[in-house]
Structure 1
Amino acid sequence: MGNAESVVVQKRLARFRPEERSVIEGVFDKLQSGAGGLSGAPGKTAAGKTLTLEMIQSSMGSLASDSLVKRVYQCMCGINPELAGSEKTDRPATSGVSREQLMVFLADTLRGTAEERAPLVLAMSHNAAGPATAVTCDQVAEFLQDLISTVVQILVHRGRLQGWKPEKMGDGALGVKILAEQICSELKASDEGSLDVSCLEDWIFRTSQVSLYLEMLVSECLNVTLSGLPPPTLLPPCQEMPWKESTCLLDLPTLMFLAPQLPDSYNAPWRLVFSTVLHGESFTKMVAGLMKHGPTVLLVKDTKGHVFGGFASQAWEVKPQFQGDSRCFLFTVFPTLRVYTATGYNEHFMYLNQHQQTMPNGLGMGGQHDYFGLWLDSEFGSGHSRARPKCTTYGSPQLSGDEDFTLDSMEVWAVGKPPEPEEGEEVEGKKSILNVDPEVQAMMELTGKTLHSEGLREPEED
């Protein structure tokens, strides 16, 4: 290689540390040798050895669909390593992928800018031999569905589910489609209604998922490991979930989207603290699940099939006043995947009340009394989502199928670090400090202190 490499390839390789460059330069040979049994002798052209579609398939096929493998291969074939920027995919597809084409592809997917990744996304969305100048939103959505499906397969087959059980969760295929639609909703087409390289560049710059998923595709499917960095964690850990007795309203793609919407400080394992499947339709039990568990995510499914909910940034309290802060938000999961954050119009973030005669009894988020963005009545089983045209607190539209909805099922997930017990409160499973240190108890008795809890405790077993 050395001096034979184009200036473009040399600049791309300069992004990598010396030990990483050897990895990048070795991928071509690994792909050729790994497919020897499938394709016979490696393909040759006038320009030298090339990678065939079968060679790419042998590396990616266990994780990626045939459709995505073909997209990647045709994208590589169209790269012109003598050019940079938006012109690098104007080369007619050849009968194989050269070493330099592969290195440009690897460098731009793993360490490229939005400007360098946009032509690759254009080519993979076009999904046909030959150059393309523009694509449609539907073509980009189809490419994203292939890409997201592969990312989910990586999480499953590499054992990175973090305690989640896909077979006990929602429809993953539907989740892939809805997540792709959500990411595509950020696209801004040109005046002609098409998406050229500049449109895609702007989109990739604003949506981090596209670059992250591309990096995972290349590093996992083409087995490119750089710098010993751990793979990205796309799912929050799940703990204490009784999978044998229960299921989950969320699917993996939805969870991949929803978890990063939480504030950075909320990275504790998700713990199911209330479920109508496990605990029945009881407002009192739901309140017990909400209390003293810190930040929570509420998920509601109505009888029309709409799935929606809210994130509460603080522990809930039963009181006739609004609570919470601007980190709270509302969201929809089905039929669309969206998040609606605080507008600053008011501070009606969270509301929880029970057994009051003069104030509404139930759980609410956003809006105002009798006109909440999300409301669950204390007479468990009904609620409303009123927004004409939008909820004042969160700017959200109507979340439910009907403005006044009937509850089908509900879950509450604790997502923050469990709060410390209050002073004097015994942690479950731990003894009081008075039991741990009898000398402290004796000193308190000598000074005339009354041990109020002494007669209230359950007798301990020998």
Structure 2
Amino acid sequence: MGGAESKKKEAEILQLFSVEERQNIHKLFQHISPNQSITEPFLKKHIEKFINLDLDVFHAVCHCGINKGQIQDKHVTEVQFAGFLAQCLKGTYSEKADVFCLLSGRDDGFVPVRKLYQTVNNVIKSYLHISKSDTPCKTWKYQVSSEDVSRLSISFLAQNKFCDIDRGVEENSQNEIDVGGGYKSQDEVEDWLSKCHMFLKMFDRVFYHLFPVISKDSAHNIIQSFMPAASNVDWNKTTTILETLSISYINYHLPREHQSIWRLLYSNSLHGDSFAQLTRYVLGKGPNVLLVKDKDGHVFGAYVSDSWEIKPTFYGSSECFLFSIKPNYGVYTTTGYNSNYIYFNQGQETMPNGLGLGGQLDYFGLWIDYTFNNGHSKAVPKCTTYGSPQLSKNADFSVDSIEIWAVGPERKKHDSDDEESRVSILDKDSGAKALLELAGKKQHSEGIRDLEEDEAPLTEEMKKKMNVIPKMM
């Protein structure tokens, strides 16, 4: 009876994999161990060839739910190894939480918070090591510190208030973070893991890299890089505020169609500390990411869903969001309270001149003044538009660095030419357009760009009237 049940279970495990995947498991099993079973030294040696993962993976293999009580004398058979792979690579949130807790030293159903932090930290370090070979990563120039890894680890664990960790703590002399005490149940870990999607993808990729048995079609989402390719940048002449983890974090939260490539539009280290220069390089270039570093070392910014456009009023869409990178990670999406998404203006005597996002005039969630050297982040208690806290160390800050990156594939030239041929005369004279909007005049020419090809063009008389509008104002 026992033998029949054992064979039934083995059959159920193998059915979780395709024929191709079963062949991959067999090859991998033989590669790890020349014997009929895998022991701890063989598995450890296999892992060390790829990454320095300071976690007891063999313990997880032996004690995961599917193998619990089945492994004799710490010798893992091929089917038992397949069972662990099924749970680790194809499992439900509950099954992956089981593996994660075992890696984190689960004891009587509970896991120490400190061990959870160490596991998350190890997975992120392993992910970074694996990502070095990604083609997009090779287009960037950056350095990642242990502090960067720790900051993201804490951010993941603090998500949805899973762990009450002081997110402002510093590393001690042993390069460890004081994450405090406490324990979490496996159910709590499962709930957190099901919501912390970015970390779960990192986890999946690390273990797929160690045990590459999933078919290529199924593994596409697992091996996909978070990093965009960097374009239009000469790293011999400039640097970036960001590094791999912060780029990945921001890019992960962008709309999918804008995640493949970032194109540098403006950097004050390259183009100069001038608002006029910034305006010259960024107007009309499509969706973009704004990055700011203040003199106190805080790094923050915004995803801007529309092109920068000179206007005396707010514009944009609810896809915009603010974010922080240092000292804490955070993404702050729109609240629906108002539609004060984007503001960009210059050369006006009666309106604020500069760029801003959220809040209200003179009280923005993020503001860079036209003088370029100064900005503010007003958020008491939070920015009404984005629900964001104060992003800079001080409400009024001095600018250290600014970068603006266009995101997503660049529009084809003929598409831009077509737009140019249909653009309103007022669009070509942004000053006249701003005056009209400020005066509350409706821009009847706005509809011109939407005319079908067979509709009548502007008459000479209409053009003359439009040309005298600024003088009338």
Check conservation: 1:292, 1:316, Cα contact below 8 A: yes
Q: Tell me the CA shift for residue 97 of structure 1.
A: 3.8
Preserved CA contact (<8 Å) 1:218 1:224: no
* Paired residue secondary structure (2:111): coil
Task: Give, as a single letter, the amino acid of the residue that structure 2 aligns with 1:51.
Answer: I
Pairing 1:91-110 to 2, within 5 Å after superposition: 95-110=74-89
Task: Supply the distance in 2 between the matched residues of 1:364 and 1:79 (Cα, whole angstroms).
Answer: 51
Pairing partner for 1:215 from 201, 204, 217: 204
Question: By how many angstroms is 1:390 displaced?
Answer: 0.1
406 and 94 in structure 1: CA distance in 2 versus 1, 3 angstrom threshold: farther
Using the alignment, how far apart are the partners of 1:234 and 1:294 within structure 2?
A: 21
Query: Does 2:28 match 1:55?
Result: no
Does the 8 A contact of 2:290 with 2:302 survive in 1?
yes
Matches within 5 A, 1:32-181: 32-33=33-34, 49-68=36-55, 71-79=56-64, 81=66, 88=68, 95-126=74-105, 131-156=107-132, 158-165=133-140, 168-181=141-154
1:194 to 154, 164, 183: 183
Whole-Å separation in 2 of the counterparts to 1:77 and 1:310: 46
8 Å CA contact 1:188–1:203 kept in 2: the answer is no
Name the structure 2 match of 1:266: 258
The CA deviation at 1:260 is 1.6
Q: Match for residue 292 of structure 1?
A: 284
Corresponding position of 1:206 = 195
Report SS of the residue matched to 1:366.
Answer: strand
- Confirm whether residue 13 of structure 1 aligns to residue 8 of structure 2: no
1:240 aligns with 2:232: yes
1:282–1:380: 8 Å Cα contact kept in structure 2?
Answer: yes
Distance 1:18 1:390, change over 3 A: same
Q: Deviations over 1:13-64 (max 9, x none)?
A: 222212212222432222114xxxxxxxx5xxxxxx5423332233221432
Q: Which residue type is aligned with residue 123 of structure 2?
A: L
Tell whether the 8 Å contact from 1:125 to 1:135 is kept in structure 2 after alignment: yes
In structure 1, the residue corresponding to 2:364 is in which secondary structure? Answer: strand
Cα distance in 2 between the residues matched to 1:372 and 1:386: 6
Match of 2:294 in 1: 302
Higher mean alpha-carbon deviation, 8-17 vs 400-409, is at 8-17
How far residue 208 of structure 1 moved from its aligned partner, in angstroms, is 1.9
Residues of 1 paired with 2:47 and 2:406: CA distance?
37
Q: Among 227, 231, 246, which residue is 1:254 paired with?
A: 246
Query: Which has the higher mean CA deviation after the structures are superposed, 174-183 or 138-147?
Result: 174-183
- Identical aligned residues as a percent: 33
2:313 aligned counterpart, secondary structure: strand
Distance in 2 (CA, whole Å) between partners of 1:360 and 1:315 is 19
The ranges of structure 1 where at least 4 consecutive aligned residues each deviate by more than 6 angstroms after the TM superposition are: 90-93
Conserved 8 A contact 2:111-2:186: no
In structure 2, C-alpha distance between the alignment counterparts of 1:108 and 1:80, rounded to whole Å:
8
State the match for 1:311 in structure 2: 303
Q: State the one-letter code of the partner of 2:208.
A: S
Q: Does 1:368 align with 2:348?
A: no
Q: Quick check: 1:350–1:364 contact (8 Å CA) kept in 2?
A: yes
Q: Name 1:437's counterpart in structure 2.
A: none
Distance 1:155 1:424, change over 3 A: closer
Deviation at 1:323, TM superposition (A): 1.1
2:280 and 2:287 map into 1 onto residues whose CA distance is: 14
1:387/1:50 CA distance change after superposition, 3 Å: same
Select between 73-82 and 328-337 the one with higher mean Cα deviation. 73-82
Farther off after superposition, 134-143 or 72-81: 72-81
Give 5+ residue unaligned stretches, structure 1: 34-41, 43-48, 83-87, 427-448, 450-462
SS in structure 1 of the partner of residue 347 of structure 2: coil
The aligned counterpart of 2:449 is none
TM-score normalised according to structure 2 size: 0.78
Cα distance in 1, alignment partners of residues 295 and 419 from structure 2: 44
* Unmatched segments (≥5 aa) in structure 2: 165-180, 422-459, 461-473
Work out the CA distance in 1 between the residues paired with 2:214 and 2:306. Answer: 40
- Per-residue CA deviation, residues 92-130 of structure 1 (Å, 9 max, x unaligned), is 996454434422221112111001111110011118xxx
After TM superposition, list the pairs within 5 Å mapping 1:309-458 onto structure 2.
309-419=301-411, 420-423=415-418, 425=420
Residue 416 of structure 2 aligns with an amino acid whose one-letter code is P
Structure 2 distance, partners of 1:3, 1:413, is 62
Whichever residue aligns with residue 125 of structure 1, its letter is S
Change (3 A) 1:316 1:424: closer
RMSD: 2.7
Distance 1:403 1:94, change over 3 A: farther
Greater per-residue helix proportion: 2
Aligned partners of 1:50 and 1:98 also within 8 Å: yes
* Paired residues of 2:134 and 2:225 also in contact (CA < 8 A): no
* Length, aligned pairs only: 398
The residue that corresponds to 1:278 in the other structure is 270
* Per-residue deviation, 1:301: 0.5
For 1:173 and 1:190, the matched residues in 2 are separated by 20
**Deviation of the 1:312 alpha carbon:** 0.2
